[in-house]
Structure 1
Amino acid sequence: MPCTLLWDNDGVLVLTEDRYFQACRETLAELGVELTRSFFIDHSLLKGLSVFDLVADRGFGKEKLAELKRKRDRRFAELIDANPCTVDGAEDVLRSLYGRLRMGVVTGALRRHFDRSHARSGLLKYFDFVVAREDYERGKPHPDSYRTALQRFGLNPDECVVVEDTGRGLQAARAAGLRCLVIPHDLTRGQDFGGAHEVLRSIRDVPEAIRRLGLL
């Protein structure tokens, strides 16, 4: 069986994280709460926790929190629709690899957010499968997402390579017994990428990294 390349989505294929930060910041600002970039990076990107923890002491019930998240989601969708967010070079790389190995997406995003981010990307035709947040129990850095992909699609870990952009994504891949390439960006640069097979400068470096592994 040929190598399977497992791609993270946000920050790797599409640049959604800045837009997500903006949507969260605007939603919280309406409550008089400031969401700083540093808190977002540490709490959301690094730890995988909810920025709405900032209002945990407000006594909001589940319905109020759900309403805030719906408002955040609507603003996020508007920001995605207004500005294409595909990573530069992503389609060129996917096109060059298509048919030479199997490719799937393993994302921490909810399916509706994933679908919105790819509404105009033109990238989905290159993937054999997508594993979204609804498909597994615990989010990254737990290995559930990657283990789900391995089990559901009958993949051999030794024949798979992950492409991630965050330390917790790397931890999830490694905990599932997978090799991981990391492509840091402005929001994740400086995180701990110890254990990565290789840290790359851009998505355009992925094919050569796969060749160095002897899988292409």
Structure 2
Amino acid sequence: MCVIQGVIFDMDGVLIDAREWHYRALNQALGLFGLTIDRTAHEGEFDGLPTQDKLRRLTARYGLPESLHPLINELKQTYTLQEIWQHCWPDFQHQYALAQLRHHGYRVAVASNSIRASMETMLARAQLLPFLDFYLSNEDVSRGKPDPEIYHTAIRMLGLSPQACVVVEDNPHGIAAARASGAHVLAVSHPGDVSWARIHSFIQECEQTS
């Protein structure tokens, strides 16, 4: 029987409903150069990837000049911060879930494909930072999700085995990374699915079936 000791959350689409913010911000930046990502492509391929990976795919598919990547990336991050300041607010359900995890002795971390500045701003405005042991961004690893590096790193920093960890994820790239790490994976479809009751129930299931 395994004993769960740590819970690692993705951020966008899990703890914070930011997926649309990233979509709008990147398209706002790309639109300056006559290019956009349509909704179907976003949901089927691009959602959850680091911006740099999205830009590389756009170069391969549409010939977006690589020389524009740094500028578009910088513009995208600026527009993302504007979205955060306009739309990011505390969610009691998530504050309660993380508070209960800490109260019951679990280690808690966040691992996201977002850059550190965006993560810090979102987590601070959502008032979730006090509940975390640490958070990892795509700047803390060499390969973003779907590569499992960020989850391997988080598990190692928690000082736990993969079997002692639960990862909460929402999109195919993140779920693939979490599963490849060897951790137990709680897949959700929306931040509203993330609650103390659901997480606690999943932890009990993991401990009973392992």
State whether structure 2 residue 139 is matched by structure 1 residue 134: yes
8 Å contact from structure 2 (residues 49, 144) kept in 1: no
Post-superposition offset of 1:203: 0.7
> Paired residues, what number?
200
C-alpha distance after superposition, 1:184-205 (max 9, x if no partner): 139xxxxxxxxxxxxxx71122
Cα distance 1:54–1:143, how it changes in 2: closer, same or farther (>3 A)? closer
TM-score (norm 1): 0.82
Distance 1:66 1:103 in 2: 33
Q: How does 1:41-80 map to 2 (within 5 A)?
A: 41-45=43-47, 49-51=53-55, 53-54=57-58, 60-62=65-67, 64-80=68-84
State the identity as a percent.
25
Distance 1:168 1:61 in 2: 23
Q: Secondary structure of the residue that 2:35 maps to in structure 1?
A: coil
Post-superposition offset of 1:2: 6.1
Post-superposition offset of 1:99: 2.7
Q: Secondary structure of the residue that 1:184 maps to in structure 2?
A: coil
Cα distance 1:85–1:183, how it changes in 2: closer, same or farther (>3 A)? farther
8 Å contact from structure 2 (residues 107, 158) kept in 1: no
Q: What stretches of structure 1 move > 4 A for 4+ residues in a row?
A: 55-59, 85-88
Cα distance 1:209–1:38, how it changes in 2: closer, same or farther (>3 A)? same
**Greater per-residue helix proportion:** 2
The one of 94, 108, 113 equivalent to 1:108 is: 113
Q: Secondary structure of the residue that 1:130 maps to in structure 2?
A: strand
Distance 2:36 2:174 in 1: 27
Give the alignment's Cα RMSD to 1 decimal. Answer: 2.5
Post-superposition offset of 1:208: 2.1
Post-superposition offset of 1:87: 5.4
Unaligned runs of at least 5 residues, structure 2: none
Worse-matched range after superposition: 5-14 or 91-100: 91-100
Post-superposition offset of 1:103: 0.8
TM-score (norm 2): 0.84
Higher relative contact order (CA 8 A, sep 6+): 2
Unaligned runs of at least 5 residues, structure 1: 187-200
Worse-matched range after superposition: 176-185 or 145-154: 145-154
The letter of the residue matching 1:208 is: S
Paired position in structure 2 for 1:94: 98
Distance 1:139 1:61 in 2: 19
